[in-house]
């Protein structure tokens, strides 16, 4: 009798895990869809040629990384540095209207809490 009871408990545990696993996959896919629609990992430069009129270290560093990658070349115009798209840069920029460098991905969901004990779909 103990063996049958333990087997039944094992089966229930497996069934619960299996259902929970499918539920997690569902929510991971839903969250990923929303992230893909709303979050772009892009540099934010949308107008070219670009300049650094504020002398921002951050802007200069971003632009020089684009120079290093061959997407942009820099020129001095008076005392100001300007950056111009290379042919490769024009090709990549026209694809997205910005220079995008990656995407966020959901690795795992640690916990699901239901509002009023109702599943949201």
Give the tens place of pLDDT for each residue, 9-42: 344 344 344 457 888 899 999 999 998 888 777 8
pTM of the model: 0.51
CA distances from 68 to 34, 36, 57, 59, 103 (A): 33, 28, 16, 14, 22
Give the Cβ contact number of residue 96 at 10 Å.
Answer: 11
- The residue ranges of every structural domain in the chain are 38-107
β-pair partners for 115:
118
Task: Pull the structure tokens for residue 99.
Answer: 């220079």
Q: What is the pLDDT of residues 70-86, one digit of tens each?
A: 989 999 888 888 999 99
The per-residue pLDDT for 119 is 59
The domain made up of 38-107 has a fold known as Arc Repressor Mutant, subunit A (1.10.10)
């Amino acid at each position: 009798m103990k063996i049958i009871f333990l087997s039944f408990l094992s089966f229930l545990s497996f069934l619960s895990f299996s259902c929970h696993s499918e539920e997690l996959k569902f929510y991971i896919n839903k969250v990923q869809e929303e992230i893909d629609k709303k979050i772009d990992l892009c540099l934010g430069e949308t107008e070219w040629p670009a300049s650094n009129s504020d002398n921002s270290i951050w802007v200069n560093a971003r632009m020089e990384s684009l120079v290093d990658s061959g997407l942009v070349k820099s020129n001095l115009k008076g005392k100001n540095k300007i950056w111009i798209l290379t042919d490769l840069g024009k090709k990549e920029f026209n694809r997205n209207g910005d220079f995008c460098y990656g995407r966020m991905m959901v690795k795992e969901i640690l916990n699901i809490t239901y509002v009023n004990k109702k599943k949201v779909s």
